[in-house]
Each structure stands twice: as structure tokens, then as C-alpha cells.
Chain A
Amino acid sequence: NAGVTQTPKFRVLKTGQSMTLLCAQDMNHEYMYWYRQDPGMGLRLIHYSVGEGTTAKGEVPDGYNVSRLKKQNFLLGLESAAPSQTSVYFCASSLHSGKSYNEQFFGPGTRLTVL
């Protein structure tokens, strides 16, 4: 099992360009999450999905869109990149029963630089 994979690993964009980050998981997890990590800020939730075809906003959703057309994939889009979106992006997935703690499994991250 590959677990959670993210594509690409690195990307440099110019201000105003668009791009899509792909997250894939092979664990048949229902729940998927997108986070960004910035120095001194920890991990902040951008968007999440509780199942195929569903998405919801997290803590910092502005400037991002997501789609969950297939259960195993969760896409994060930047329509018009800004320097403030320079960050490391992590995708995570989980089974989450709602009855216990939610162990999320993380991908290796995508380092994005917006010039």
C-alpha cells in the first residue's frame, strides 16, 4: 500500500497562475483533508471532505477550491496564486468512526512557492 501520495512534490508559480494539487489514498478512507503549514503557525485546515462528492471549508479556505469526485482522490486548486499562498501543503485521510479519536494519515507534502 502506498498510503497517501501527493503530486507534485515541489512547484514554483508566478503570481496569478493557477494549479491543482493532487492527493490520492489507497486505504479506502472516507475522510480527506488539506492543510497548509507555515513557520510558527502549525498545520491549518484549508478544506475537508467527509465522503465522495462532499467538501467543506476549514479554517483558511480563501483562495482555494477543492473537489472529491472519486473516493480515493482529493484535489486542491489555486485559481490565481498569490505570494501569501507560499507554503507546504499536506493532505491527510482517515476512517473516522465519530466514536473515537481521528487518526489522520498524512502525505509527504507539496512545497509551493509563489513569486
Chain B
Amino acid sequence: DQQVKQNSPSLSVQEGRISILNCDYTNSMFDYFLWYKKYPAEGPTFLISISSIKDKNEDGRFTVFLNKSAKHLSLHIVPSQPGDSAVYFCAAQRRDNTGKLIFGQGTTLQVKP
């Protein structure tokens, strides 16, 4: 039973345009959501997070939106750059003493020059 789902395996956008990556979850008890970025042959690196009590968090070109009623979050990248080409994972976390993250399947973003 996949609690965190990224239903789009891949996305291709033109440089300068907006990239929108989507993520759905099933457990309403999650307290935080995180986005990680992964380049080939490297480990994932943290990108941005959002608390379940917020509906938006922005950091430079990256903005994450949370719609709790729809159990849906999205990552917007504006403007997209070729260096943004990577696999993006969303992850969900409950506020407990384990810090466990539950990851989605990932979406491969290709930004074309």
C-alpha cells in the first residue's frame, strides 16, 4: 500500500518555463512533507519542506504547495534551468521520535535548453 505516490514517472519542460511536479498521499496524519532532488550516481539531497499547517513554502525558484483536503502537494520550479534536470522525490513524515520518511516513486525532470 503506497502511502505517497508520484504518478508521473517523467516530465519534460523547456528552459525558462515552469516545471510542476505532483505528489499525492493517503495518510492524513503526516505532519511534514519534503522534496529531495537526485542526480545520477549521487545520493538524494534535500530541496524544500512544508509543514502540514501551511499551504505554501517558497525558497528562491522553488515553491511547494499543499492542499490538505485533496491530500496533494506540488513543487513548482520557476524558471526551470537545465541544471534542474534530475529525479525528484517527495517524502512524508510524521512528528515522532523515529524521523522516518516515506518516499514516493520519483519523477524524472528533463529541462531542455
Shortest C-beta distance, B80 to chain A (Å), equals 22
- Do A31 and B99 touch (CB < 8 A)? yes
A33 to B100, CA, bound (A): 8
Shortest C-beta distance, A41 to chain B (Å), equals 6
Q: 1/0 contact trace for B3-28 toward A, CB 8 Å?
A: 01010010000000000000000000
- Do A4 and B43 touch (CB < 8 A)? yes
A94 to B98, CA, bound (A): 10
How many interface residues does chain A have, given as a range? 20 to 34
> Is A96 an interface residue when CB atoms closer than 8 A count as contact?
yes
Q: Please name the residue on chain A nearest to B42 by beta carbon.
A: A108
Contacts of A100 in B (CB 8 A): 32
Shortest C-beta distance, B70 to chain A (Å), equals 21
A45 to B102, CA, bound (A): 8
- Shortest 7 CB-CB distances between A and B: which pairs? A106-B43, A102-B99, A96-B99, A101-B32, A43-B103, A42-B103, A101-B49
